[in-house]
Amino acid sequence: MIAIFLCLLTASPGSRAEEEEAPAPPPGLGPSCPDPVLGPVMPPTPDRTQAPIVIYAEELDAGRTTVGEARGSVELFRADQHMSTDRILYDPVKKVVTVPGALEYEDQQVWFRGEEASYSFIEESGRFHRIDYGLTGSSANGSAEAAELVGGNTSILRAPDYTTCPGQSPDWQLDARELELLHEEGMGKARGAKLTFKNVPILYAPYFTFPIDDRRKTGFLYPNLGQNSDSGFEIGIPWYWNIAPNQDAIIEPHYFTNRGFMLFGQYRLLTPRSYGNLELDYMPSDRETRESRYRYLLRHTARPRERWGTNLVFERVSDNRYFQDFGTNLGQTSLQFLRSSAQLTGVGRYWNLELMADDFQVIDDSVEADNEPYRRIPRLAYWLDRPMGYRGLYFALDSELVYFDRDVGETGARLDLMPRLYWEMQRNWGFLRPSAGYRYTAYELDLKGAAGDETPSTGVPVLSLDGGLIFDRRMANGDLQTLEPRLFYLHVPYEPQNDQPVFDSGEFTFSFSQLFNTNRFAGGDRQSDANQLSVAVTTRRFDGVSGRVLWSLSLGQIVYFKPQRVQLEPSPMFDDDLSPFLAEFNWRPFSRVSATLGLQWDWERNQLDVGMVGIQYRGEWGQRAAFEYRFRRDRVDQFDLRLSWPVNEQWRVLSRVNYSFADRDMLEFQGGIEYESCCWALRTVVRRYLKNRDGDYRNAIYLELNLKGLASIGTRGQELFRD
């Protein structure tokens, strides 16, 4: 039953309230746009069958069986529906409203402004003529010869145009023979479509779909375009498959003019306790190499039980030159190997456990077989750190059992144990931490016929004393400055270890953390001998109001009382009296500017070993700039400059220059511009980067045209800044 209420109007209650104008965003954060491009997912259409129809008018004529008429500032309300006009005819028998003149109609899905209309309340359907329309909660709008509402959740537009641009002259527009908007599915279907950008046709399609809200939907995505000096022009047309709310996939046929067809694929799965991702790229025949090329990557993480987790990574490529030919950045083209691993982890209140196995695919031709990384099949590690009965006393255990395997060279198992007792006193004026431990390492080796001990072992005590003080003073302007001296003494007697293999060990890069480490080697194959004292001091200045660190300076050095005899390979012992002198300075003169200076100075040789200078700026309106210079004697001498700078609300420039003074060549250059308006964006990036050790470069250009709310055409360049 449909109840009808007719009221005479002196004013029009219930007319649409004027929306408060939103304040414009600050300059540099993007254009000031009135509405979102894609609206939120709307709730299902309410049940209108029992909702009363309320009509307000200045004059009305009504009967039980005859057509009624309302005139003068007519407003009709029913559930979420609202119609306003000057004259309405209502048939109480057929439950049909006819509007012979201009009208405005709105519900929770669409709004229309047209010249005439008829609507059946029983069939939940109506027809509107010569309309302007829009989607509720979205900036999508257009016009059409006719529109039909079907069943309360579908709109069919005849001879429409569609855009998300404001104004009478949109920058892009979709014209179609018919446009079907499925509101409950959040999808639009265009038939006989033509897409124009700046009045230039860029796409003709007999049929395609596009989103009308922010839900994921199955269908073709828009082309990826690119050009590089190796593969030529490339185009890919991805198809997105929304398998389920927790599963999706992308399948993309891709064509390279110099190489041929390649199929890209990605599958994702998410559950309350796990996440999985599978990527597969396959080219059946590369015109350049005359071979098939492929890459696959499987990642899966899970939390099967509380405190327990699993992690699986499996990655392989068809050949060593895969990333040199298909990599998109310097990080990929400089890879030496791909690591695959399976891992089980557990965490308790005082303990951690890890069971894992890993394998490597070496893809760098410069890596000799006897320098390839070992497979660990498996590795079991257990860490314990728990308090004892006495206050401040702790017992800790670092333990590892692992088997190393490789096709070339000796293999075998290693047991590494280090139990220790330490006492910790923490006060507001400082701390004290004495520690006593014992490091035991034992092997069971397969020497592959070579001479040597198959069961070498080493046991050595490790004693340390760590302590520091904190002095502070309040400055005249309210700032706080601290002075924090620290001493760390380490004693480890010498134990010969040259009969032990080197499976996974290497010497740490010397830095501030190494001042307070009990071993200068990573891994378990070597325990350095030591009789040394680390001396360090840090001073900081804090803003008296915000508490922000304005600047900090740290200085440190190790004094060696005895030469260090343990080395990775048989070589002369290290007999310097002093380590390199370390200095680090961090300065934050303003809230958006920070600077870092670091150096290592060798007093023995009177030379700079390591130097680094960096400065960063992050502006209020999205400006980003960073400069960093890095130097490491005989290895690195380069600078890296990055810039992302909004010129105004629409335009932004970006650039990156990574130059090596040691090689006298550019490692990577990137430059581009971006334009963004309320309904479209254009990004163009040119890149040149090193692709292999032979000094060959790849030149590439990336172009992305984003028609907001409809399509994103092209391939986006690499991000310069990541937070």
pLDDT of the residue at 364: 87
pLDDT of the residue at 359: 95
User: Residue 718: pLDDT band by 50, 70, 90 thresholds?
Assistant: low
Four-residue CA torsion sign, 233, 234, 237, 240: negative
User: Residue 1: pLDDT band by 50, 70, 90 thresholds?
Assistant: very low
pLDDT of the residue at 711: 60
Over the stretch 90-129, which tens digit does the pLDDT of each residue have? 888 888 999 999 999 999 889 999 999 999 988 889 999 9
Task: Identify the architecture of domain 4-217 in CATH.
Answer: Sandwich (2.60)
Listed by start position, the domains of the chain span 4-217, 619-723
CA 118, CA 104: separation in Å to the nearest integer?
12
Cβ neighbours of 548 (radius 10 Å)? 11
Query: Per residue, what are the HEC states of 5-43?
Result: EEEECCCCCCCCCCCCCCCCCCCCCCCCCCCCCCECCCC
CA 628, CA 667: separation in Å to the nearest integer?
14
pLDDT of the residue at 676: 86
CA 530, CA 516: separation in Å to the nearest integer?
12
At residue 160's C-alpha, the angle toward residues 159 and 162, to 5°, is 155
* Residue 330 DSSP symbol: H
Between 585 and 708, the higher pLDDT residue: 585
pLDDT of the residue at 27: 43
User: Residue 250: pLDDT band by 50, 70, 90 thresholds?
Assistant: very high
b (16+ CB within 10 A) / e for 333-344: bbbeebebbbbb
DSSP 395-452: EEEEEEEEEEE-SSS-EEEEEEEEEEEEE-EEETTEEEEEEEEEEEEEEEEE-TT--S
Residue 455 has pLDDT above 70, yes or no: yes
Over the stretch 383-425, which tens digit does the pLDDT of each residue have? 999 999 878 999 999 999 999 999 998 999 999 999 999 999 9
Residue 89 has pLDDT above 70, yes or no: yes
Find tokens 């950008």 and name the residue: 197
DSSP reduced 3-state for 493: coil
CA 437 to chain centre: 42
CA–CA distances in Å: residue 420 to residues 202, 398, 681: 71, 9, 60
Burial zone of 170 (CB within 10 Å; 0-12 exposed, 13-18 middle, 19+ buried):
buried
CA 475, CA 205: separation in Å to the nearest integer?
72
Average pLDDT estimate for 453-473: 96
